[in-house]
Structure 1
Amino acid sequence: MNQHIPLPSTGNLLPIANCWWVNQNQTYTEEISGGFLWSPKTKSNGHRNQFYDYMTDVRSGDIVFSFSDTLIKAVGIATGGAYSSAKPVFDKAGDNWSNIGWFVPIEFTELARPVRPKDHIDQIRPYLPEKYSPLQENGDGLQSVYLTRVPQHMAGILIGLIGREYETVIGRRQDLEQEIVCSNLEAAIVGRTDIGPTMKEQLVKSRRGQGLFKINVRRNEKACRVTGVSDPRNLRASHIKPWKDCTDMEKLNGCNGLLLAPHVDHLFDKGMISFTDNGDLIVSPLLDREILRRWSIPEVLNVGSLHKQAMFLAFHRKWVLKK
């Protein structure tokens, strides 16, 4: 069962599954940019290594603190479990490692203000694990460590030291959890006995912005409201009220959708933008305005009346839009 750890900088309680510490002194550049962890399965002599064995314990949604050059430089979220993989190319490491090992996909966020644990070791020391600790008592790192567990209370201290930047990681974790929920709901539709195969197919397709749902949306929408792109092959039928929150009929209702260019759909789905009923663009305060500039989206924009979608937009503004 997930526990809750106080976030000292904000006072929030954040759910955390498992937390990990990875020592990336040799592999930081490749693993952070590539979005993964990789380790051999055993030592070069064929013996077990607990720090490699831990790779198989990582699960989707787990949090990973990346330590390199005495600093926690990044925090990641696991997007899957470990699987057997050939060794990636490392510029400065790996010559003596076996060619097959464990690969774990991780979505990393580099910190604008890295944290030096040694500077805060008096806070951290009481929560260092007795066995397989990521740090020495004096706060120095351990060269022998690759991946190891971070106890819940120690994780709480690290989160507090990282501060607001950690909220980006939690937001991504919540997105992943929602995706898992939707996938499970989609699978559950296939097993339902109260609807026929045609309805099942349409409901599943609606989750992916396809089939009858997209047809119904196109009856109201002719182009992306933001970009003006009209070729439906380059547009996504995006649910306004999220699919997981909809009734069967709402999943297929054309008024519960907008045709959006993929990058606009991404912002809308993640709650970074929304719209008033009159069509004024609403931009979340959490969205980096530089993204709008680079994607040529005006910060002040009216896309035309959306009164047909008003009921669903009200839900989106209240429950999806990040405030």
Structure 2
Amino acid sequence: MLPQRNSPIQKNGNGNQGCYLAGISDALGHVLMALLDIQQVRDVDQPPIYLIDHEPNAHVLDDIHRIEIDPAIPETQRLQLTRARVGQGYFRKQVILLDPICRVTGVTDTRLLIASHIKPWREASNSERLSGYNGLLLSPHVDALFDEQFITFEDDGRMHVHPSLSRDVLDRWSIDPDKQVGRFRSEQTSFLAHHRELFVRKATSV
């Protein structure tokens, strides 16, 4: 996302000493703002609201680039989608408002929890990407299992565990596969059904 000419950073990662001021693309600006969890520059010196979040990897940056170049996305929605993809902003707040607890571990300190999409980002529409009903607030280790479809949930809160997942992992992470995590909202059922489909595909491919 860096400019081809007059870039503030060279390709080898070093700063460009010959560049005093540099313009950057809106996409890169959105990434930086999302990482800092700021709406405007004047907020930059305030402490971050969230302690834990995903590091933006190549897939995330590619998705953000797609958002930036899509002419069908209104400008007002562009930043919301970018921040949601990084794991902050509007989507996270909607998930917290709906269910401010990790159903599996019982942790209630939202600073330590990840807002995870139920229906994966790549398969969701823009409205689904921002919907709080398409999210669960999970402890980081639970999020890792849910995100990779090693666990999934029925609408009534029953948990399913992928056959390849060692019971030793669950024991060491204090995850009870027989725990009822509570019935989900009716608005979440279609998203959970999609996640279960991915879980079944993963299970049958073992």
The TM-score, its normalising length taken from structure 2, stands at 0.66
Distance 1:264 1:320 in 2: 15
Could you list the runs of 5+ residues in structure 1 that have no partner in the other structure? Answer: 1-82, 85-178
Distance 1:284 1:231 in 2: 28
2:72 to 169, 191, 194: 194
State whether structure 2 residue 181 is matched by structure 1 residue 316: no
State whether structure 2 residue 155 is matched by structure 1 residue 277: yes
SS state at 1:237 partner: strand
Paired AA for residue 203 in structure 1? L
Number of equivalences:
147
Paired AA for residue 280 in structure 1? R
- How far did residue 320 of structure 1 move? 4.2
Give the RMSD, CA atoms, in angstroms.
1.9
Could you list the runs of 5+ residues in structure 2 that have no partner in the other structure? Answer: 1-11, 14-56
**Structure 1 counterpart of 2:131:** 253
SS state at 1:259 partner: strand
**Structure 1 counterpart of 2:180:** 302
**Structure 1 counterpart of 2:85:** 207
Paired AA for residue 284 in structure 1? H
SS state at 1:219 partner: helix
Structure with greater contact order relative to length (CA < 8 Å, sep ≥ 6): 2
Distance 2:125 2:179 in 1: 31
The TM-score, its normalising length taken from structure 1, stands at 0.43
5 Å-filtered alignment, 1:1-323, equals 180-308=58-186, 309-320=188-199, 322-323=202-203
Task: Answer yes or no: is the 8 Å Cα contact 1:278–1:307 preserved in 2.
Answer: no
- Which ranges of 4 or more aligned residues in structure 1 deviate by more than 2 Å? 179-183, 192-198
- Tell which structure's C-alpha radius of gyration is larger: 1
Identity between Structure 1 and Structure 2 (%): 44
- How far did residue 183 of structure 1 move? 3.5
Task: Answer yes or no: is the 8 Å Cα contact 2:156–2:183 preserved in 1.
Answer: yes
- How far did residue 181 of structure 1 move? 4.5
Task: Answer yes or no: is the 8 Å Cα contact 1:182–1:243 preserved in 2.
Answer: no
Larger helix share, 1 or 2: 2
SS state at 1:207 partner: helix
